[in-house]
Amino acid sequence: MMKNKMMKKWLILSLLFCLLLPFKAFADAAVGDMTVTLGQNLTDEQKSELLSEMNAPEGVEILTITNEEEHQYLGEYIPKRLIGTKAISSSAITLEKAGTGLKVQSKNINWVTEEMYINALATAGVKDASIYITAPIPVSGTAALTGIIKAYEISSDKVIPEDVKQAANEEMVKTAKLGDEVGSDKAAALITKIKENMAENPPQTEAEVRDTVESSAKELGITLTDEQIQSLVDLFNKLKDLNIDWNQVGGQLDKAKEKLTTFLKSEEGQSFLDKLKEFFGSLIDAIKALFS
């Protein structure tokens, strides 16, 4: 009888322990927590300067990012010589309250824009965080995404699948390359628009993905080559098959959407909208003339 009572007590305690584990993990991911990533090849002096620049508190959790990790996630998308042999890009990620979205600020990053980071991070499933990306000298910024995702996994106690990480890195690089060809503002605005349209009407086939890419570019008045269209179709067709929650992604893109709005209000964007209005005006006049 006594033995049965003891077994029941142990069973209850075990169940309570299992139930409390998720709450402990959630408690560990507290709003305001900062995690820092530092490139392995920084000097001690550079590390101190970057920590000061980030306003990192004493005792902040610091992760080291290696050049091997950078090659692991970027090797398929950009030449090895561009990745280099040293890891110096660094970042700080601070968890924010739910619904805040993603905010990115960068320094000494000369290829990947802040909106490109936001888009790629949202694709990876990173949410509600303030992110600061920096380096002691001007760099492309491609390697920083590796550290940010790693820091987010640890600080939020969430595991991001490897194929999603790879897709986010591919998106970042392809967007930056497209930015070289059509302008970084246009490239970031287009990626944001495609994601908005995918959230509204999730494509089921590659042909529907192509329609989404082409219609998004048309909406913004951005002319793409066949090669550029195919590159985006390949990317978003891959993303389509990763079961990404596009509504959640869209909810993280407020700052990127500001860039989209800015583009539409720009002289170039307004010129396109004026042409569109002129076209429809002419069409209506032609219809009126036909019936008169």
Residue 20 confidence class, pLDDT cut points 50, 70, 90: very low
Report, as an integer, the average pLDDT of 276-287.
54
The pLDDT value recorded for residue 278 is: 57
**Angle in degrees, 0-180, between the axes of helices 254-265 and 267-291, rounded to the nearest 10:** 60
Task: Using DSSP, state whether 75 is helix, strand or coil.
Answer: coil
Q: Are 121 and 146 in contact (CB under 8 A)?
A: no
CA distances from 119 to 49, 57, 133 (A): 28, 28, 15
Residue 11 confidence class, pLDDT cut points 50, 70, 90: very low
Phi/psi region, residue 107 (left: phi>0; alpha: psi -120 to 50; beta: rest), is: beta
pLDDT at 21 over 50: no
Report, as an integer, the average pLDDT of 196-204.
94
Which alpha helices (DSSP H) does the chain contain, by range?
Answer: 2-28, 44-53, 67-74, 80-83, 114-124, 144-156, 162-182, 184-200, 206-220, 226-240, 246-251, 254-265, 267-291
290 is written with which tokens?
């036909």
Report, as an integer, the average pLDDT of 107-125.
95
What sign for the dihedral angle of Cα 151, 156, 161, 167? negative
- For the chain, the structural domain boundaries read 33-161, 165-277
Q: Which residues contact 282 (CB under 8 A, 6 or more apart)?
A: none
Residue 202 per-residue DSSP state? -
Report, as an integer, the average pLDDT of 230-253.
92
- Of residues 284 and 69, more confidence is placed in 69
pLDDT at 22 over 50: no
Least confidently predicted of 178-192, 225-239, 242-256, 265-279: 265-279
pTM of the predicted structure, to 2 decimals? 0.79
Residue 281 confidence class, pLDDT cut points 50, 70, 90: low
CA-to-CA distance for 44 and 136, rounded, in angstroms? Answer: 12
Report, as an integer, the average pLDDT of 217-233.
97
**Percent of the chain's residues with pLDDT above 70:** 80
The pLDDT value recorded for residue 237 is: 96
**Percent of the chain's residues with pLDDT above 90:** 71
48 is written with which tokens?
């101190």
Burial letters for 188-202: b for 16+ Cβ neighbours within 10 Å, e otherwise? bbbbbbbbbbbbeee
Q: End-to-end CA distance of the chain, in Å?
A: 100
The pLDDT value recorded for residue 25 is: 38
Residue 221: CB atoms within 10 A of its CB come to 17
Query: How much is the mean pLDDT over the chain?
Result: 86
Least confidently predicted of 73-77, 113-117, 154-158, 254-258: 254-258
